[in-house]
Amino acid sequence: MLLIVNAGSSSLKLKVYEGEREVAKASVAEIGADGHRAALALALDEAGVPLAQLSAAAHRVVHGGAELTETCRVTPDVIDAISACVPLAPLHNPANLVGIQAVADLAPGLPQYAAFDTAFHATNPKVATAYALPAAERAQGLRRYGFHGISYAALVRVLRGQGNLPERLLACHLGNGASMCAIVNGRSVATTMGYSPLDGLTMGTRSGSIDGNAVLRLAELHGIAGAGRILNRESGLLALGGASDLRALHASDSPDARFALQHFAYWAVRHAGSMVAAMGGLDAVVFTGGIGENDPWMRTEILAGLGFLGVSSDPDANARNESTLHDATSRVAIRIVPADEERQIAREAQGLMAGEGA
């Protein structure tokens, strides 16, 4: 059995797979400092999975930088490379490393693998990833990376398996963290997130795209740490509408809540146009993530904004969150594909394990 670990700074989620079949899952929240080892043991016990039955563990790691561009076995060098990316993802990579260490502490010798949210976007052309900065600054790793790559890789796998993978796909991973990706023949060519997961769409608590000088002004007013807190934890839907969850905003129906919803939809359409331009056209729109899969109102707003591209949805199918949403007149396919990141990590790790066994 293969253990899939998604470690946050104060939480731990795990699933266990036999082949592609999920056989157990568990989660632990509000973990204190140095508590991940105990939390992992508790979660495995909750899931009813003895350590002796595990053949390996695989981890979601948010940032692999420019070097870690595919799922790999965890080695000391890989640990060093993940650590080197901590300045690029200070909210995520430290927690991912803690998860890896927790498994090593609890099960020494158990093979571990790492899958990276940035890896899927390694196919972006340099013109899409380079910031127009001096060479010395670019050498510090300041460039666009993109995120949600494991989700996008899973989406491509599912569509390919269904025989529904188009040439030019606008993939929309919409949740508390939100992004879009331009995918041509199954490969990422552009994405809305950049150096960090802050860039791009309006999100639950992240500002999305913001002028660099506005960031500098925030740093002048609140210090660097304060600016980072504001941009990552106190902005987005929360700042505009008073809640980071779209369900709460819909329920509120206050003027601020309505504005927050409109802001999310407006900027999603703006960024979608950029992704379509990067592909030179559009053959399909696919939604995934909590909002993408479950919010008919938001999908309607976004799809209406893309009507000039020949996008036309079936209101009844959309209201029922059906897997196929386009109507008979649409020139563009519209689908929902449930997020399947853990199974994607399992498949990639199992592929490596099979190769090692061979």
* Cβ burial, residue 215 (10 Å; 0-12/13-18/19+): middle
Token pair belonging to 324: 């196929």
Q: Where are the alpha helices (DSSP H) in the chain?
A: 36-47, 76-84, 93-106, 126-129, 135-138, 149-162, 212-233, 236-241, 246-252, 255-279, 289-294, 296-305, 315-319, 341-357
Distance separating alpha carbons of residues 81 and 101, to the nearest angstrom:
15
Torsions phi, psi for 233 (to 5 deg): -120, -15
Confirm if 310 and 331 have CB atoms less than 8 A apart: yes
The structure tokens 């913001």 sit at 210
DSSP designation for 287 = E
| 171 within 8 A of 183, measured Cβ to Cβ | yes
Overall residue count recorded for the chain in this entry: 358
What DSSP character marks residue 63?
-
| Token code pair at residue 182 | 């331009």
CA nearest neighbour of 190 among 146, 160, 138, 131:
146
Output the DSSP codes for 1-59.
-EEEEEE-SS-EEEEEEETTEEEEEEEE-S--TT-HHHHHHHHHHHHT--GGG--EEEE
What distance lies between CA 129 and its chain's CA centroid? 18
Token code pair at residue 32: 């204190």
**CA neighbor of 287 nearest in space, from 255, 251, 249, 313:** 313
Which residue, chain included where needed, has tokens 């897997």?
323
> Token pair of 116, please?
């990276």
Catalytic residue among 34, 117, 253, 340: 117
Query: Could you tell me the two tokens for 317?
Result: 């199918």
327 is catalytic: no
The first and second tokens of residue 72, run together, are 């790999």
Q: Which residues are catalytic?
A: 117
